[in-house]
Amino acid sequence: MNGMELAIYADGAARGNPGPGSWAFLITLDGRVLYEGYGVLGRTTNNVAEYNAIINGMKKARAYGKGTLTVFSDSLLAINQLNGSWKVKKDHLRPLHEEVVSLTSGYERVKFVHVPRSTPLIQRVDALANKALDDEGS
């Protein structure tokens, strides 16, 4: 699928912040959902959960090719840090940020785009992240 335009919609959740955390993502190609994934993290923060959603989505997206990748998230912090607009000030976020940056290698182009929480596919991954927590009994 080289040359194709993939998109990841990612969301993380932490009930209580910090509290039980989860992540979810979906991968689309030309608006068609190719894959959905979600998981739990244990006790964590929203920001760690958001980064984990992006990381897990980017790892899975590699299976679909190395063309253009756009990552959509409602996390202003993660998107602005990944775009270089904001510094990564918290030590515990640095390794997560570095992992995302390393996952960009090999793609023709990677864009990180902030979208509102009301975006339909963000609402869908938010529901998946909450399902992960509900399934765990959190």
Structural domains in the chain plus CATH codes: 5-116 (3.30.420.10)
pTM of the entire structure? 0.96
* Gap between the Cα atoms of 6 and 65, Å rounded: 8
Whether the per-residue pLDDT at 3 is higher than 80: the answer is no
Cβ(100)–Cβ(59) below 8 Å: no
Instruction: Please name which of 15, 64, 67, 8 lies closest in space to residue 40, comparing C-alpha atoms.
Output: 15
| Residues 6+ positions from 57 with CB-CB distance below 8 Å | 8, 9, 10, 25, 26, 27, 37, 71
Whether the per-residue pLDDT at 32 is higher than 80: the answer is yes
State the pLDDT at residue 4: 74
- What is the band of 132 on the pLDDT scale with cuts at 50, 70, 90? very high
What is the percentage of the chain residues whose pLDDT exceeds 90? Answer: 90
**Can you give the three-state secondary structure of the chain, one letter per residue?**
CCCCEEEEEEEEEECCCCEEEEEEEEEEECCEEEEEEEEEEEEECHHHHHHHHHHHHHHHHHHHCCCEEEEEECCHHHHHHHCCCCCCCCHHHHHHHHHHHHHCCCCCEEEEEECCCCCHHHHHHHHHHHHHHHHHCC
In tens, the pLDDT along 69-108 reads 999 999 999 999 999 999 999 999 999 999 999 999 989 9
